[in-house]
């Protein structure tokens, strides 16, 4: 094992120890908040069952044993009124989750520079970060689930409306960026050179300053919140992958809420409505890049 690898693993151990301590502190605060109401839409049970699930969500850092897809996360929308101490503990947990994510990313980015031992090289091609987490006792560690942040608000929530949000991201690439992607595609492909050369010719036949990349549609749980901040009622929107923590008093009941539908409503793709500046079909199909409509080109 190289000295750099040992150094990275020692750093990870320190970061993960602090990460666990922060989560234990949050669970202790949740125990102290036992008198506070809580609601999780996916939990059918009494007050105790809901609060136990809340603590379970905080400590759930691994893939489940029921065939959970790689890269997926378990999601629970809900409301978690809390004390100021719990709010501060959630903020600390969020900080530690960010630090753990950065450490894992650092390990993966430096892996190619390390001289790994023969025993490490035999671990089915797993990344260094995954092997390190396995050695720490977390063979099914779910990075996305363990490092996602909780929403925590230092003021009361007056109402909550949960909904599914459809979103499709687009980004513009200039000619240099498009050419670089075509060159990279040509270098990596062993069987589609003719098709790639066709795309290069198509690209060189136009003088557009940019093309548009369209990403697959994503669907997220979100929530519209009416809050009271410094005595003023405001409306904000947040992701709702996990229960929303917010500071209030234990005697205050849960606010009115609109439940999240079981499934997203069937809708036509909103891309055409929101991005009417691009053509309907990709101009460079291999890269899934679109031209702007003629009136929007420079």
E strand or H helix that includes residue 56: helix 47-59
- Do 60 and 97 reside in the same domain of the chain? yes
Instruction: For residue 185, give the nearest of 203, 212, 206 by alpha carbon.
Output: 203
Q: CA distances (Å), 239 to each of 122, 154, 245, in order? A: 40, 17, 12
Does any domain span residue 231? no
Three-point CA angle 281, 283, 284, nearest 5°: 120
Domains in the chain: how many in total? 2
Are 199 and 234 within 8 A, CB to CB?
no
Cβ-Cβ contacts under 8 Å for 278 (sequence gap 6 or more): 170, 212, 214, 290, 291, 292, 293
Query: Residues 128, 27: one domain?
Result: yes
pLDDT computed for residue 215 by the predictor: 83
Residue that the structure tokens 């501060």 belong to: 88
**For residue 157, what pLDDT is reported?**
97
Pairwise CA distance, residues 233 & 71, whole Å = 38
94 part of a folded domain? yes
CA 34 to chain centre: 29
Same domain, 134 and 34: yes
Q: Which domain holds residue 33?
A: 3-154+240-249
Residue 234 lies in a domain: no
Angle at 101 between CA 144 and CA 223, to 5 degrees: 50
Closest Cα to residue 12, out of 105, 91, 93? 105
Shared domain for 41 and 134, answered yes or no, is yes
Tens-binned pLDDT, residue by residue, of the chain (298 aa): 567 778 888 999 999 999 999 999 999 999 999 999 999 999 988 999 999 999 999 999 999 877 788 889 999 999 999 999 999 999 999 999 999 999 999 998 887 666 544 444 445 557 889 999 999 999 999 999 999 999 999 999 999 999 999 877 888 999 999 999 998 888 877 667 888 889 899 999 998 889 998 888 788 999 999 999 988 999 999 999 999 999 999 999 999 999 999 888 776 544 444 546 888 889 999 888 998 888 877 6
Residues 198 and 142 occupy one common structural domain? no
Instruction: Give the span between the Cα atoms of 51 and 45, in whole angstroms.
Output: 10
pTM metric for this prediction: 0.79
CATH of the domain at 71: 3.50.14.10
Q: Is residue 258 part of a domain?
A: no
The pLDDT tens digits for 120-174 are: 444 555 788 999 999 999 999 999 999 999 999 999 999 999 999 987 788 899 9
């Amino acid at each position: 094992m190289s000295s750099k690898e040992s150094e990275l693993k020692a750093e990870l151990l320190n970061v993960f120890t602090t990460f666990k301590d922060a989560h234990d502190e949050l669970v202790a605060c949740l125990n102290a908040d036992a008198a506070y109401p809580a609601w999780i839409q996916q939990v059918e049970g009494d007050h105790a069952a809901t609060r136990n699930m809340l603590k379970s969500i905080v400590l759930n850092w691994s893939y489940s044993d029921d065939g959970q897809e790689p890269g997926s996360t378990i999601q629970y929308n809900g409301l978690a009124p809390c004390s100021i101490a719990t709010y501060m503990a959630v903020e600390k947990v969020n900080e530690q989750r960010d630090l753990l994510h950065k450490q894992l990313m650092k390990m993966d980015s430096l892996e190619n520079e390390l001289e790994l031992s023969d025993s490490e090289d035999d671990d089915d091609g797993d990344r260094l970060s995954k092997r390190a987490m396995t050695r720490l006792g977390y063979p099914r560690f779910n990075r996305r689930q363990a490092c996602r942040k909780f929403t925590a608000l230092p003021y009361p929530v007056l109402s909550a409306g949960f909904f599914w949000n459809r979103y499709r991201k687009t980004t513009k690439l200039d000619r240099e960026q498009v050419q670089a992607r075509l060159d990279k595609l040509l270098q990596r492909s062993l069987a589609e050179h003719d098709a790639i050369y066709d795309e290069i010719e198509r690209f060189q036949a136009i003088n557009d300053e940019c093309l548009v990349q369209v990403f697959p549609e994503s669907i997220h749980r979100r929530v519209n919140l009416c809050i009271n901040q410094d005595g003023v009622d405001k409306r904000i929107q947040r992701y709702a992958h996990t229960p929303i923590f917010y500071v209030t008093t234990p005697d205050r009941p849960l606010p009115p809420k609109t439940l999240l539908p079981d499934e997203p409503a069937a809708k036509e793709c909103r891309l055409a409505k929101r991005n009417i500046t691009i053509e309907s079909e990709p101009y460079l199909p291999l890269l899934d890049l679109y031209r702007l409509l003629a009136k929007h080109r420079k």
